[in-house]
Amino acid sequence: MTGAIVEQSQVIHGYRRAYRIGGEGSAILFIHGIGDSSRTWDDVLPLFAENHLVIAPDLLGHGDSDKPRADYSIGGFANGMRDLLAVLDVERVTLVGHSLGGGVAMQLAYQYPHLVERIVLVSNGGSGRGVSTWLRLATLPLGPELLTLLRLPFSRTGLSISLRLLRHLDHDLGVDALDLARITDALPDTRSRQAFARTLRSVVDWHGQVVTMLDRSYLVEDIPTLMIWGDRDGIVPFRHAGQARLAMPYAHLDVFHGAGHFPFRSDPERFVRTVEQFVRSTDPATWDRDAWQKRLRTGPETGPEAAPEASRHRTMP
């Protein structure tokens, strides 16, 4: 199965969970963002599968997984990842989480640190309040209906023109125009759009992001962590990378200049090279229960203002 990616599914707690899997070796779990699916990783999974066991699930309510009226919280998704790993008999993984998936990865590391060897956060949510206006609009009471309207022919034409205009004006959101259109097209029916709305409302409201990963980031400071961010991100602003760095001074930051919210799609070869280098250069985390409990009781030793000045910041060529 090395290098070949196959689509499979498991029924867990009565719901179908779809995932892609392939390769052999140390395991990497890829967690996609809101409204997306495991297909978002298509360009990089075969490359990683040359050296690793790769697992890319469709979160509940996304892709080919079931879309019930259910729990679409960050904690619920983290539990789903734990259960899938248990069903697949995978004991430990390196986590790669994109956007919302980065929040799920961090939540999984908080709740089940013994499962996690490393963390890679890609354009991750939960590092600040700011988020694109179109996501905030989608949280409003008529959000699912708005998504339905966007699929009508005249709306699709207008959306296409708007996205092309943003690209022409060199607006950051225009950098991600093709992927935004792709995600909108991936919500073809009412159940998909309702699941999207429930997921979004669990982490975002009209004022911005309501869930943060920063207040508990000290709990995973013993886990090697890499952050990857495009400096033209129009969905989760690049300035959030600085806020995350202050809260997580132990993490590395690699900036993909000119990339938007999906750096693994705009430059897949560089993304694979960056992550592979990180995996090779770090040892898997070892979980010390006593140390973890002590840290949980006492809280962080220092505040964000004590973080070293970019001592671990790296910008890849």
Residue 83 falls in the annotated catalytic set: no
Same domain (yes/no): 218, 99:
yes
The whole-angstrom distance between residue 67's C-alpha and the CA centroid of its chain comes to 19
Same domain for 127 and 68, yes or no, is yes
**CA angle, 258 then 259 then 264, to 5°:** 150
pLDDT beyond 60 at 158: no
By the 8 A CB rule, do 300 and 246 touch? Answer: no
Domain that holds residue 143: 133-205
Please indicate, yes or no, whether residues 248 and 200 belong to a single structural domain of this protein: no
5-12 vs 15-22, strand pairing mode: antiparallel
Question: Is residue 168 predicted with pLDDT exceeding 50?
Answer: no
The residues near 35 (Cβ < 8 Å, ≥ 6 apart) are 62, 183, 184, 186, 187, 196, 199, 200
The tally of domains found in the chain comes to 2
Mean pLDDT of the chain: 82
* Residue 254 pLDDT greater than 60, yes or no: yes
Which residues, listed in sequence order, are joined to residue 93 by a DSSP beta bridge?
116
Query: Can you tell me the mean pLDDT for 127-138?
Result: 58
Contact between 172 and 233 (Cβ < 8 Å): yes
pLDDT band at 307 (very low <50, low <70, confident <90, very high): very low
Element holding 17 (H helix, E strand): strand 15-22
Separation CA 164–CA 295 (nearest Å): 49
Closest to 204 (Cα-Cα) out of 133, 151, 106: 133
> What integer is the mean pLDDT of 50-62?
97
Shared domain for 281 and 268, answered yes or no, is yes
Q: Are residues 91 and 143 in the same domain?
A: no
* 137 vs 35 pLDDT, higher one: 35
Determine which of 164-173, 241-250, 253-262, 268-277 has the lowest per-residue pLDDT on average: 164-173
Domain final position from 205, 229, 245: 205
What is the average pLDDT across 7-13? 96
- Catalytic site includes residue 9: no
Identity of the residue numbered 40: T
191 shares its domain with 217: no
Residues 109 and 148 in one domain: no
Which of these is catalytic: 36, 176, 179, 233? 233
Confidence of residue 90 (pLDDT cuts 50, 70, 90): very high
Question: Which entry of 37, 38, 99, 132 is annotated as an active-site residue?
Answer: 99
Q: Tell me, yes or no, if 261 is annotated catalytic.
A: yes
- Which residues have C-beta within 8 Å of that of residue 250, sequence separation ≥ 6? 221, 225, 312
- Specify whether 160 is located in the same domain as 185: yes
Of 64-68, 75-79, 122-126, 264-268, which gets the smallest average pLDDT?
A: 122-126
Share of the chain above pLDDT 90, in %: 50
Q: Do 158 and 42 fall within a single domain?
A: no
| Total length of the chain | 317
Locus of tokens 């905030």: 136
Select the highest-mean-pLDDT range: 14-28, 158-172, 197-211, 244-258.
14-28
Provide the pairing of β-strand 208-209 with 93-98: unpaired
The answer to whether residues 246 and 117 belong to one domain is: yes
Tell whether the model's pLDDT for residue 167 goes beyond 60: no
Residues 80 and 16 in one domain: yes
Q: What pLDDT, on a 0 to 100 scale, did the predictor assign at position 137?
A: 57
Structure confidence at residue 126 as a pLDDT band (50, 70, 90): low
Which residue has better confidence, 211 or 303? 211
Q: Could you give the angle at which helices 177-185 and 153-168 cross, rounded to 10 degrees?
A: 160
* Helix-helix angle 100-111:74-87, to 10 degrees: 70
State whether 188 and 231 are in the same domain: no
